[in-house]
Amino acid sequence: MSYATLMVYVEEESGHIRLAATLAERLQARLIGIAACPPMPVVTGEDAPIDSILFAQEEVAMRASLDKTGEQFRSIVGDGTVAVDWRSAPDFPSKFVIREARAADLVIVGQTSTRPHHPLDVGALLLRVGRPVLVVPTAVVSLGPRRTVVAWKDTREARRVLCDALPMLQLAESIFLVEICESGAEDQTQQRLSDISSFLAHHGITNVTERILQHPAIAGEVLVRFAQDVQADLIVAGAYGHSRLGEWMFGGVTRELLTRSPVCCLFSH
């Protein structure tokens, strides 16, 4: 099992694009660059209707800007060792990526957006894209993955991400399988971790260390601290959340990893 096609969201030159290119080369995968931005609304006065000519001019300018972004993407990817494709449209970024992600095995995005208007909504992406999503912090420009932390919880989301992450886990030099445990539940936790280690072993992944972390007040912070302590460069975790009144509501661990992790995070929902 491997990722045959990666998709990376492109805004401007940034580390996660180079990371995606390197990962595609290592996996011998095709890389699709993708970008979108809707034309800015054009009005002629207060409460006036949109001027169709100005709107058309704005759309032409937006398409030209996206074409330039595509050229920059191809120049970053480099010398032809990776098969690349480019997709762009004057559209809302999250909507466009969610639709086009049917063509990819893995979607790669930056943790923060550089666009002040209509940035990519990573929360919407996680919960609606139907593909694993690799979220890359701004300062990160490469990913081994050398050491990987798998955050286990006996839920649908954790089971989903474990399967989705198998190609990355097969690349890792060492894997730390961890579960945050309440006092008195150590035996049940250990049984679950043993089952997951056995599952991974049947996929040829045997370099696994099991760890039980005591239940903290802020689980996300403890998970990030553990990843830093073992010098991990990837955290694999289920994404827990839902949409409520148009806003994305996330569990504490997901929110902490999504917004503040200094380590790359691979999510599935």
**pLDDT > 80? residue 31:** yes
Axis crossing angle, helix 252-260 with helix 219-229, rounded to the nearest 10: 50
For residues 154 and 263, membership in a common domain is answered with: yes
CATH number at residue 188: 3.40.50.620
User: Quick one: pLDDT at residue 51?
Assistant: 65
Reported residue count of the chain is 269
Q: Give dist(CA 139, CA 142) in Å, integer.
A: 10
- Per-residue pLDDT band for 95 (boundaries 50, 70, 90) equals very high
User: Quick one: pLDDT at residue 252?
Assistant: 82
Its domain, for residue 44, covers 5-136
Residue with tokens 């032809």: 80
Query: Within a domain: residue 91?
Result: yes
**Minimum mean pLDDT range among 9-13, 26-30, 199-203:** 9-13
For residues 154 and 94, membership in a common domain is answered with: no
For residues 156 and 262, membership in a common domain is answered with: yes
**pLDDT > 60? residue 247:** no
- Residues 149, 174 contacting (CB under 8 angstroms): no
